[in-house]
Structure formats: C-alpha cells, structure tokens
Amino acid sequence: MSVRPLVPAVNEPSSEPGLAPVTLVLGGVRSGKSAFAERLTLRAARPVYLATAEIFDEEMRARVERHRARRDARWSTLEEPIDLAGAIERAAAPEAAVLVDCLTVWLGNLLHHGADLDAAVGALLESLAAPAGPVVLVSSEVGLGGVPDNALARAFADRAGELNQAVARCAADVYLTVAGIATALKDSRKRGA
C-alpha cells in the first residue's frame, strides 16, 4: 500500500532554483526522506541517482523496485555499494546533482564486507569538502527509538549517528522528514539572509 500526501508539506523548501553544495536529508523508515530528496535533486538539469543498496533477498528487491518506479527518464542511475566517495567524484558535475540513497545502507554494506569504516567515512567526507556539483545525501536517523538490545545493533546505531553528525557538519542544508513532512534543521538560505 502506498500513501500519498493529501496536501503538500508546509515546511518544504521554496521553489527557488539551485541546491547547496551538500544537503543531508534525515528521517526514519518510510518517513518520506527519499521522495523529498528526489524532489530536491530534480532542481538540477541532470539528476543522478547513486544507489547504495545490495539486493540480498526478495524484500530488498521489492524495496529497490519501488524506488526505481518513482524515477522517470530524467534520472541516470549509478549503483555503488562500497566506494561511495569514488562514485560521487565520478558523477558530480556543475550541471548535475547527485542523490546518494542511502548512507545507512552504505554503512551496513561496509560492515557486511568488513571494510575499514574510518577510511571509508574519511574518504566520503573528503569527497564532500568541495564536490564538483551538488550532492544530496539520504540517511536514516536511527537514534530516535531507544538503545538496541544487542551489541551489533548498538555498534551500528552508534556509527550511523556519528556518520550523520559528520555529514551534517559538511552540509549547508539539513532536513529531517517525519510523516512525509520535511523540516529544515540547517538552512543556508536563512543564514545568508
């Protein structure tokens, strides 16, 4: 079942063109964060969807297909589950906007493959320091639900929270989506006014 909003969210960003060099969109599962980030990214002449998901089962396949179905022919898609920094550097361009969906899935991939988390996050942050074009990153806000009951889940939540904080420091704009409504937490247009 898919629920469509009856009215537009009141805290959507203005329709003025352009994107900040780095934008972070946070939210919980099914909060509307990906759809909101897609609308932001469509401000660019050439939107690029950088997908981080690896499909390990049918449920994930269906989830990925729902995301694909939302995108029209304007989008180009890159799939990169591990080397996110390299993919951003290859895809970013002044006329393009890169949408990374999503950081927490990417973090899970790194853990699954036994990658060096500190090196991968460091490379990501370096790629966001001065991207060749706008980058919009989606990430799950995992810290709102309480402390997980096992060590692996706690470690993941801790690393996801640290990752979100580090990317938020790089981002000029940060949004939180709840129930399909996006609220600006950090807004470069207001700071520049």
The domain locations on the chain are: 22-191
123-130, long-range: CB within 8 Å, 24+ apart, which pairs? 123/84, 123/85, 123/86, 124/84, 124/85, 124/88, 124/167, 125/166, 125/167, 125/170, 126/85, 127/84, 127/85, 127/86, 127/88, 127/89, 128/22, 128/88, 128/167, 128/170, 128/171, 129/170, 130/21
Q: Answer yes or no: is pLDDT of 82 > 90.
A: yes
User: How high does pLDDT run on average in the chain?
Assistant: 89
Name the active-site residue from 63, 67, 71, 186.
67
**Residue 112 designated active-site:** no
Question: What is the pTM (predicted TM-score) of this model?
Answer: 0.88
Work out the pLDDT band at 192, boundaries 50, 70, 90: low
- Looking at residue 71, what is its pLDDT? 85
Domain 22-191 has CATH 3.40.50.300: yes
Work out the pLDDT band at 70, boundaries 50, 70, 90: confident
What dihedral do alpha carbons 150, 156, 157, 161 form, nearest 10°? 160
Q: pLDDT for 115-146, tens place per residue?
A: 999 999 999 999 999 999 999 999 999 888 78
Q: Answer yes or no: is pLDDT of 4 > 50.
A: no
Three-state DSSP at 13 gives: coil
